[in-house]
Structure 1
Amino acid sequence: MFKRTLLLLGAVGGGFLIATVWPDAPAALRARLAQGGFLTFGPVVAGSPALTPAATPKPEEPGLVRLTQDQVAKVGIRTEAVRGGRLARHLHVPGTIVPSANNTARIAVKTQGTVAELRKGLGDRVAKGEVVALLDSREIADAKGEYLAARLSAALQKTLYERDQSLWDKRISSEQQYLRSQASYEELKVKVDSARRKLTFLGLGPAEIEALPNLPAAQFERQEIRSPIAGRIVERRVDLGAAVGRDNLETELYSVVNLTQVWVDLAVSPGDLPLAREGQVVTVRTQATDESTEGRIVFIGPVLDQNTRAARVVAELPNPDERWRPGSFVSAEIAVSDKPVRTLVPSEAIQTIGGKPTVFVRVEGGFEARPVGVGRSDDGNVEVTNGLEPGDVIVVANSFILKAELGKSAAED
């Protein structure tokens, strides 16, 4: 303490001596004493450097980060103009591609017999009504014979009925004979219709039934098995020469699937189930190839699965090129809401600075940190309610770098 007092007195004395004994002392010395916190006495010329504050650089504007174009490109900062858009919320659920039950058929036989010919193999395409197999069946031969016999008897009885009707009209024969012929004819028509229905049930089409009178007797046992839908053979269950039909024998020959439309089985949790509705748009995406397509919900199961406790939701997808294969695992996005907004920005453009949501706006000389008001949001975008106007250019990628630079500048200050 004593030493500091001596130094202070010495400084004061030195300054007094310089001011009285050496009035023309250099201004630099006098300024040096002033900068050192020493008191100066004596005349001082107005406007001398000793009284003029040192020049300081112009302070940076608060919230402004200055970067050159090269720096912007180097750190990967990307900008876009603010614009309006649609705010869409999506429900993300897993799913599995399955064949559409509306486009699946099993080609089966309805009578006992032996497989005489198989015309299609696995993966082959078939048209609707195309013959896929031939069956030899004694039962089908009996049914054809029964129909032809009934048809022939009905034709003969029709002739007798028409003759008796003509005679009765001329009052040549009795009314009783006419009525008896009429009853016999109607009875035989019923038998013909019954035999026709039996053949239809066994799988014969109208054209085949009409062609039976001209069919060679050797082909009476042969039955053509046709595909009920167009599609592809996905399963063959019998071999050539196999016995098929009833009495614990195999009845199905092929399975056919039309893959131009497929279903997506979605598992939706009970909590999210109120958000799903029939008719909603579903975007389906596969991780393996990153392909995507859109479909619509056609069914919402009323019962939860006992094992997973999830509801079954089915969406139908168009599949004209058959690239969506049944059995594939996919991820699905169910569009829950879709509303237009005036100002929409990506979520990654929003940074929290000073407890407020902030975006970096491109201005002359750099980027300005501008607080904004935010509203609703969806999977990747946020509605801005104030602080931005459509057309403003903002940072939409790597804005965290500007946040870090802004924090660094504030720490240095």
Structure 2
Amino acid sequence: MMSRSTIVVLAFAAGAAIFALGLSTTLQRAIGMGPPAKTAILPKPSAPELISSLLSMSDEQIKLAQIDLVDVGPAAIAKRLVVPGSVVPDADRIAHVSVKLSGTVAELRKNIGEDVARDEVIAVLESREVADAKSEYLAAGLTNDLQQDLSTRDKTLWDSRVGTEQQYLRSRNAAAQTEMRLKIARQKLLALGLGEKEITAVPKAPEASLRRQDVRSPISGRVAERKVELGTAVGRDSLETELFVVVDLSRVWVELSVASSDLPLIKEGQQVKISARGLTETATGKIVFVSPLVDKDTRTARVVAEMQNPDRMWRPGSFVTAAIALNERTVPLVVPATAIQKLDGQPIVFVRTKDGFEKRDVVLGEREDQTVEIVSGLTPGEAIAATNTFPLKAELSKPRDED
């Protein structure tokens, strides 16, 4: 039979076991009664992902991606002064086609906007004045021809001692007078606007054409204005004398407004880069005039630049921005600004290789508009991606799995 002390010990042990069953595993471990904790298995830190500097692309893929390639090389970089301006016609290439006689418009062969060539007939006038002048010229020509023949005959007779010297002298004097009248009649036709070829053709021209005069364009260009209609009376006595305005826009001027403080930097002959909002194309011009006068209200001076306009893209009246080259230097390497991307803050370009492109870190220098100087990182003659380079950067930045 168990003793009383033994029973007390067994009862205490049983109560402790029941109490422990009601505790959480965490508390059991805390008081030393639970099972030992298992060691946690942590994921192995992965190594830093490596980004390759090479991108494989075939020529066909490059073409489909619309990536343009350019060879890097030397170019001029300039510090420029940017000023506003407007396009105007070249003053030496504007022709006001006017008449120098009174008459009526019989034909209009050109209309507004049509191209004309130099010496092309653009209108025909009918005029009694020109008919009288042509008739006078024809009469003077016939009289002169006859008198020249008489003078030649009298000289032959006097040389043969058949005629008298007095007769020969009278004949020679008359021939000189008729020749003078012919020249005067010819000058009158020139003053009325007839050309050399037209005057030469007068003796053989049909009689009905005597009252008609062709109006020709003095320059090649485009008809900007037409100021008369068919049947309009033109000429003197307060009538309209200007028929057309012809403008040659193959070369235009750009009028610039330069602040007086910047005028010491501006010289004739400096290069100017012209751009306009809405146009991707730019043009290059040259300063041909710097006004010695400064506007008292705006404190700016008029500066004129001349530029070629073969495609007629630059229209008079358009507002433009002009960048005047103040100093210019040639640098060994330049690239288009569109070729530059940044990866982790470092400027890069993509150099064409036989298999695709290679990322190349570069050091940038001065920038002019859409051109950037490359101080280091490239070699002259290397081909680089000039457009659509962002997809290349995005492809290069994709995570690569470890082998």
TM class by smaller structure: 0.5 to 0.7
Aligned to 2:164: 174
Contact between 1:90 and 1:378, CA under 8 Å: does it hold in 2?
no
Measure, in 1, the Cα distance between the counterparts of 2:152 and 2:375: 94
What is the number of residues matched between the two proteins? 291
In structure 2, the partner of 1:79 is none
TM-score w.r.t. length of structure 2:
0.65
2:312 is matched with which residue?
322
Residues 196 and 344 of structure 1: is their aligned pair in 2 closer, same or farther, counting only changes over 3 Å?
A: closer
What is the aligned partner in structure 2 of residue 299 from structure 1? 289
Aligned-pair identity in percent equals 49
Question: For residues 104 and 174 of structure 1, do their structure 2 counterparts lie closer, same or farther at Cα, with a shift above 3 Å needed?
Answer: same
Partner of 2:250: 260
Partners of 1:91 and 1:302 in 2: how far apart? 19
Give the match's secondary structure for 2:236.
Answer: coil
With over 3 angstroms needed to count, the CA separation of the structure-2 counterparts of 1:156 and 1:97, relative to structure 1, is same
1:207 maps to 197
**Aligned residue in 1 for 2:124:** 134
CA–CA distance in structure 1, aligned partners of residues 265 and 272 of structure 2: 13
User: Are 1:195 and 2:181 counterparts?
Assistant: no
Q: Secondary structure at the match of 1:232?
A: strand
Determine whether 1:144 maps to 2:134.
Answer: yes
Match of 2:390 in 1: none
Measure the CA separation in 1 of the matches of 2:305 and 2:331: 29
Q: Deviations over 1:74-115 (max 9, x none)?
A: xxxxxxxxx997552101111111111122111110101111
Distance in 2 of aligned mates of 1:86 and 1:217: 66
What's the offset of the Cα at 1:309? 3.3
Partner of 2:236: 246
Per-residue CA distance 1:3-22 (angstroms, 9 max, x = gap):
xxxxxxxxxxxxxxxxxxxx
| Deviation, structure 1 residue 338 | 0.8
**Cα 1:145–1:67, aligned 2, differ >3 Å: closer, same or farther?**
farther
What's the offset of the Cα at 1:308? 3.2
1:391 paired to 2:381: no
Structure 1 residues 112-140: Cα deviation after superposition (integer angstroms, max 9, x where no partner): 11111111111011111111111011111
Equivalence for 2:67: none
Task: State the SS of the aligned residue for 1:234.
Answer: strand
1:13-57 deviation per Cα after TM superposition (whole angstroms, max 9, x unaligned)? xxxxxxxxxxxxxxxxxxxxxxxxxxxxxxxxxxxxxxxxxxxxx
Letter of the 1:324 counterpart = W
Q: 2:265 aligns with which of 258, 265, 275?
A: 275
Per the alignment, residue 398 of structure 1 pairs with none
**Deviation per residue, 1:248-286 (Å, 9 max, x gap):** 111110011111111111111222122122221110000
Asked whether the 8 Å contact 1:140–1:202 carries over to 2, the reply is yes
- Cα distance in 2 between the residues matched to 1:287 and 1:98: 17
CA offset at residue 361 of structure 1? 9.0
Separation in structure 2 between the aligned mates of residue 389 and residue 281 of structure 1, nearest angstrom = 25
Contact 1:264 1:316 in 2 (8 A): yes
Aligned counterparts of 1:85 and 1:217: Cα–Cα separation in 2: 67
Can you give the 5+ residue segments of structure 2 that lack an aligned partner in the other structure?
Answer: 1-47, 53-72, 349-362, 379-403
Maintained 8 Å contact 1:84/1:390:
no
**Whole-Å separation in 1 of the counterparts to 2:310 and 2:265:** 29
- RMSD (Å), alpha carbons: 3.3
**Alignment TM-score, normalising by the size of structure 1:** 0.63
Measured at CA, do residues 84 and 141 of structure 1 come closer, stay the same or move farther in structure 2, by a change above 3 Å? closer
1:215-230 residue pairs with structure 2 within 5 A? 215-230=205-220
Letter in 2 for 1:251: T
| Structure 1 residues 312 and 235, CA gap change in structure 2 (3 angstroms) | same
Q: State the alpha-carbon separation in 1 of the partners of residues 49 and 262 from structure 2.
A: 46
Tell me how far apart the structure 2 counterparts of residues 105 and 380 of structure 1 sit (CA, whole Å). 37
Provide the C-alpha distance between the structure 1 equivalents of 2:369 and 2:201, rounded to a whole number of angstroms.
67
Q: What SS is found at the alignment partner of 2:185? A: helix
Equivalent residue in structure 1 for 2:275, among 285, 295, 301: 285
What is aligned with 1:31? none
Q: Which moved more, 1:148-157 or 1:212-221?
A: 212-221
Alpha-carbon displacement from aligned partner over 1:336-393 (angstroms, at most 9, x marks no partner):
10124689999xx9xxxxxxxxx9799xxxxxxxxx9xxx977679x99xxx97339x
* Matches of 1:136 and 1:117, distance apart in 2: 9
Q: Which residue of 1 aligns with 2:96?
A: 106
Pairing partner for 1:157 from 120, 124, 147: 147
Unaligned runs of 5+ residues in structure 1 are 1-65, 71-82, 350-358, 363-371, 393-413
Give, as a single letter, the amino acid of the residue that structure 1 aligns with 2:190.
Answer: T
Residue 333 of structure 1 and its aligned partner are, at CA, apart by: 0.5
In structure 2, distance between residues paired with 1:324 and 1:166: 69
Report the AA paired with residue 266 of structure 2: A
Q: Does 1:96 align with 2:82?
A: no
Residues 209-244 of structure 1: CA distance to partner in whole angstroms, max 9, x if unpaired? 111112222221111111111111110111111111
Q: 1:276 to 1:287 in 2, by over 3 A?
A: same
Matches for 1:20-39 after TM superposition, within 5 Å = none
Distance 1:360 1:321, change over 3 A: closer
Q: 1:182 to 1:323 in 2, by over 3 A?
A: same
User: Contact (CA 8 Å) 1:89, 1:378: kept in 2 or not?
Assistant: no
- DSSP 3-state at the match of 1:220: helix
